[in-house]
Chains A and B, each alone.
Chain A
Amino acid sequence: MSNQDQDNLTDHEYDGIREYDNKLPIWWLATFIGTVIFAFIYWLHYEFAGGPDLQAELKIEMEQLQEKTGGHGHDHGTAVAVSEEELLKLMTSADTVSNGKLAFTGKCASCHGDQLQGLIGPNLVDEYWIHGKGSLSEIHTVVSQGVPEKGMPAWGAMLKEDEIKSIVAYIGSQKGSNPANPKAPQGEKVVNN
C-alpha cells in the first residue's frame, strides 16, 4: 500500500474490511449524467413534443407496404384474376406440377390429406365442390383469398403467385385419382366439368 493510498483510506473498518474514498471515475460519472440527459430528452420528445406514437409508426409502415404490393390488401390475399387457359396450360408442365406437389405437401396436406382425399378440409379430387364449381380459376381464388370463416387461410398473403398457380395446377392434375379413405362428399355435385 503506497502512502498516497493510505491517505485515501477512510477510518471505517468492518470485520477487517477497510474502504478507500476514491473519487468517482470521471467516465463513469459522464456515462451516468449522459444517460439521464438522454432519458429526459427522449421522454420530452415522445410524451410532449409530438414524437410519433406506436400506432402512427405502424401506419407509416403499413402505407409503405401498400406501395410495394400495389395497393392490394393483405388480409384477404391478392385478388389477381387468372385465366382458366393459363392454369390449364400450367397443368401440362411436369415441372410446375411437381413444384405444386411439393408446396401442397408442405402447406395443404395437413388439412386436405396427402392424397388430396380430404381430412380437416374437403376432398379435392371428388366431384363435389363447396366454393364454386371446381374450375381451376375458382380454385385459384379460394387458395389466394381463403375462406377465413371455415379456417382456410388466404395463401395469397403468404405465398408467391407462382407457387399458388403451381398448387392449383397440381390439384387439377390429381382430379379423379380415387385415393383410399376419401372424405365424405361436401358441397354440390358438379357434373360435366
Chain B
Amino acid sequence: MSQVDNNPKNFEEIYYDDDIVKKFILATMVFAGVAFLAGLMAALQLAYWPMNMNMEWLTFGRLRPLHTNAAIFAFAGNAIFAGIYHSTQRLLKARMFSDSLSKIHFWGWQLIIVAAAITLPLGYSQAKEYAELEWPIDIAIAVIWVVFAINFFGTLWKRREKHMYVALWFYIATIITVAVLHIVNSIEIPVSLFKSYPVYAGIQDALVQWWYGHNAVAFFLTTPFLGLMYYYLPKAANRPVYSYRLSIIHFWALVFIYIWAGPHHLLYTALPEWAQTLGMVFSVMLWAPSWGGMINGLLTLKGAWHTLRTDPIIKFFVAALTFYGMATFEGPLLSIKTVSGLAHYTDWIVGHVHGGALGWNGFLTFAMFYYLVPRLWNTKLYSEKLANIHFWIGFLGVMGYYVSMVAAGITQGLMWRAIGADGKLIYPDFVETVTKIIPLYWARAFSGTLFIIGFAVMAYNIYKTIKAAPASQPVAVKVTSNMKVQETSTETHRALEGAATTFSVLTLLAVLVGSVIEIYPTLSLHKYVPKDVQTVPYSQLELAGRDIYIREGCYVCHSQQIRPMAAEVLRYGKPSTVADSMYDRPFQWGSKRTGPDLARVGKKYPDFWHFRHMIDPRATTPNSIMPAYPWLERHKIDFVSLRKKLSVMQNLGVPYTDEEVANADIQAEKDAKKVAAELKAQGAPDNLHDKEIVALIAYLQSMGQKEKKK
C-alpha cells in the first residue's frame, strides 16, 4: 500500500460505463435460455428420434452445432464480456477506452449470434466443431474480436493503476490467443456466399481444428472464467486471495502448456504418433496448473467457510471451482492413450464437457450475476431463498447429467470392444450398443431439464430484482493514478505486471511455441503419405454428395476414423491412414459415434440399401435412432456450383485435370444418371437422377475406396 497518493489535488472523478455491462448481462440471460433449450431438444432427440418433428432445420446434425455455438459463444461469450467490462474498469481505475467500440462490440456480437442462429439450421456449415460458421461470419467474428481487443488494450493503455491484477493476465491471454486460434483455423477459400473449403486437408485440418477446438475450451471457457473468478470470488467473500505466488506459477504454466494439448482429441487416429504423444503428455502436465486455479480460489475462502451455509453466491463459487477441479482432473485422465481408447467417441466425453460447461462456466456465471445484478441496479436481490433453490436444483441437474453420461459412455465403450472366446465381437450390431443406453439418454434429458428449471428460477429472480430497482443515476468514483510512481519492486514479475505491452508479448510467445512446434511439421502432409500409395480424388458427384454430408452435419454422430484396435478392425475394417483423408476438406473424422464409423462403409451395402436407409433408417436397421432424411429424395443436386468447387479444390492442390474441372457439372449429371438407373433396377422410384440422395449415395459408396497402390 506504499503507493497510495494522499494529495487530494490528484483525485479525479470518473464514471464507469456500467450500461454496457448491463447490456451484456441481459444478452447472456437471453442466449443462455436459447442454448439450454437447444441442448434439451438435442438430448430428447437422442432419447426419442422423432423429436426433430421431421423438419430438416431441427435434425440433430444441424441442431447440435447450434447448441454448442450458442452455449460457447452466445452464453459464455456474453457472460465473459459482462464480467470483463465490469471488472477491468475497476481494476484499472479507468472507464473503457471507447464507448463507441463497446457498443460496436456488443451489437456486433449479438448480430453474429443471430446470423449463426439463422445459418446453422439452414445447413450452412463448415462441419468443423465449434468452428461451423461460414466464412462471412468468420470474418465478422475476427473484426468484432479486434474491436474488443482495441477497446481492452486501449483501456490498459489509459489505466491509472500501474500494476495489473491476476484477473487481467487471464483476460490478456484470452484476447490474444482466441484471435490467433480463430484466424488460423478459419483460413478458407470461398466457393460462394455461404460455402468455403479450408486450406488444410486431412491430418493437417484435423490437427489445426483440434488445436483450435481444444484451446477454445482453454482460452474461451477456462482462462477468462479463471480471470472472473479471481475478481469476483475475493470480492464476494471479502477475503484476500490465497497466494500471489501460486497465481504467477499457475498462470504461466497454464498458458504455456494448454496450447500443446489439442492432439489428445486425435489419439489412435492417423495423426503422426509423435503429435499424439505430445498431446497426451502435455495434457497430463496440465493437471497441476489447472488445479492451481481451483486451490487459489477455494483456499481464498479459508476463514470464510461459514458463509458457504448462508450465502448462495459462495455456494455457486465453491461448486463451480469443484466442478472445474473435477473436469481438469478428468481431462488429463481421458488424455492417457488407453483411457482415451475406451472413452473416445462415447458419451463419457459428453459428460466430461458438460461437467465443465454446466458446472464450471454455468455456475461461475450464475455466481457472478447474483453478485453483480443487485450492485449494478443499486438494490437488493429479490429473493435469497430462490437463489438457494436455484443452486440445489441446478446442482442435482449437473450431477445427474454427468453420472448418466459417464455410465452411458463406459457401457457403450465396453460393448464396442467386447470380443468373445471365439474371437468374434460380442455385439456386432452397432445398434445394440445404442438401444442399451437409451434409458440413460432419458436420464440425461431429465437432468438437463432440472438445470433449466434452476435457470428459469434465476431468470425470474433477476427480473424481479431489476423491476424493483430504483431509477439510478451513474455515480462518480474518486480515483487517483499511480502511473507516474517509480517502480520500486525488485522482483521481476512484479515489474512485468506494470509493463502491459511486454506482458502481452510474452503471453503471445508462450502460446506460439507449442502451436508452431505441433502444426508446422504437418503442413507438409505429403511426407506422411507412403510413396507407393496413391489416393484418387473424389469424383464430381461424390464431392457434391460430400457437401450434403457436411450440410446435414453427419459428422456429429458418425466418425470417419478407424482406430488401430482389434475390435475396430473386426467391426469396421483396416485402420484409417493418412492417405485416406488427404484430399478431405474439411476432414470429417468426427468425435462422437452415436452411429457407427463410416470410414470404410463404401461398397459394404448396395445402393438401394442406402436409399431405403436414408429415407427411413428403421427399414434397414430396426431400432435405429437416426433421423429420417426424406428431403434428400426431393431436393435437387446443385450441379451448377461444381465447376467452381472443383476449381477451388484444384487451386488447393487436389490433382483434378483442367478437363475434369471444366466438365464438372456434365460429368456429375452423367454419373448421377448411372446411379439412379442402378437404383431403379434394384427397386427404387423413378426420376432420382437429379436428386440429392443420389449424390450422397455416390459419396457413401466411395468411402474407404480411394486408396490405390501405385
**B673 contacts which chain A residues (CB < 8 A)?**
none
B interface with A by C-beta (< 8 Å): 1-2, 87, 90-91, 93, 161, 163, 165, 231, 234-235, 240-247, 249, 253, 268, 273-274, 277-278, 280-282, 284-285, 287-289, 291-292, 295, 299, 303, 332, 419, 421-425, 428-429, 564-566, 569-570, 573, 575, 603-606, 608-609, 612, 619-622, 682-683
**B2 contacts which chain A residues (CB < 8 A)?**
11
Please determine whether B564 and A43 come into contact, CB atoms closer than 8 angstroms: no
Instruction: Identify the stretch in A91-99, A124-132, A152-160, A170-178 within 8 Å (CB) of chain B at 4 or more residues.
Output: A152-160
Please determine whether A20 and B242 come into contact, CB atoms closer than 8 angstroms: yes
A58: contacting residue among B87, B274, B285, B564, CB under 8 A: B564
B620: contacting residue among A69, A111, A149, CB under 8 A: A111
| Closest chain B residue to A146, Cβ basis | B604
Cβ-Cβ contact count across A and B, 8 Å cutoff: 168
- Known A-B contacts A22-B243, A32-B288, A74-B570; the reply to A151 vs B423 at CB < 8 A is no
A23 at interface (Cβ–Cβ under 8 A)? yes
Question: Closest CB of chain B to A164's CB: distance in Å?
Answer: 11
Question: Closest CB of chain B to A175's CB: distance in Å?
Answer: 23
CA separation between A142 and B604, bound complex, in Å?
Answer: 15
CA separation between A159 and B427, bound complex, in Å?
Answer: 9
A53: contacting residue among B234, B273, B421, CB under 8 A: B273
| Closest chain A residue to B165, Cβ basis | A14
**B235 contacts which chain A residues (CB < 8 A)?**
15-17
| Closest chain A residue to B246, Cβ basis | A24
Chain B interface, DSSP helix/strand/loop, else mixed:
helix
Known: A43-B281, A110-B619. 13 other contacts (CB 8 A): A11-B1, A15-B231, A19-B247, A35-B332, A39-B281, A42-B277, A54-B273, A58-B569, A68-B422, A110-B621, A158-B424, A158-B425, A159-B428
29 contacts across the A-B interface (CB closer than 8 A): A1-B303, A15-B91, A15-B93, A17-B241, A18-B241, A19-B241, A22-B246, A22-B299, A31-B287, A35-B332, A38-B281, A42-B281, A42-B284, A46-B277, A53-B273, A54-B273, A54-B564, A55-B564, A65-B419, A69-B423, A74-B423, A107-B429, A119-B683, A120-B608, A120-B609, A151-B606, A157-B424, A157-B570, A183-B683
Please determine whether B277 and A43 come into contact, CB atoms closer than 8 angstroms: yes
Please determine whether A17 and B234 come into contact, CB atoms closer than 8 angstroms: yes
**A83 contacts which chain B residues (CB < 8 A)?**
none
Question: Closest CB of chain A to B436's CB: distance in Å?
Answer: 15
A148 at interface (Cβ–Cβ under 8 A)? yes
A47 at interface (Cβ–Cβ under 8 A)? yes
Please determine whether B246 and A12 come into contact, CB atoms closer than 8 angstroms: no
Please determine whether B245 and A23 come into contact, CB atoms closer than 8 angstroms: yes
B289: contacting residue among A32, A57, A110, CB under 8 A: A32
A61: contacting residue among B287, B565, B622, CB under 8 A: B565
Question: Closest CB of chain B to A22's CB: distance in Å?
Answer: 4
**A58 contacts which chain B residues (CB < 8 A)?**
564-566, 569, 575
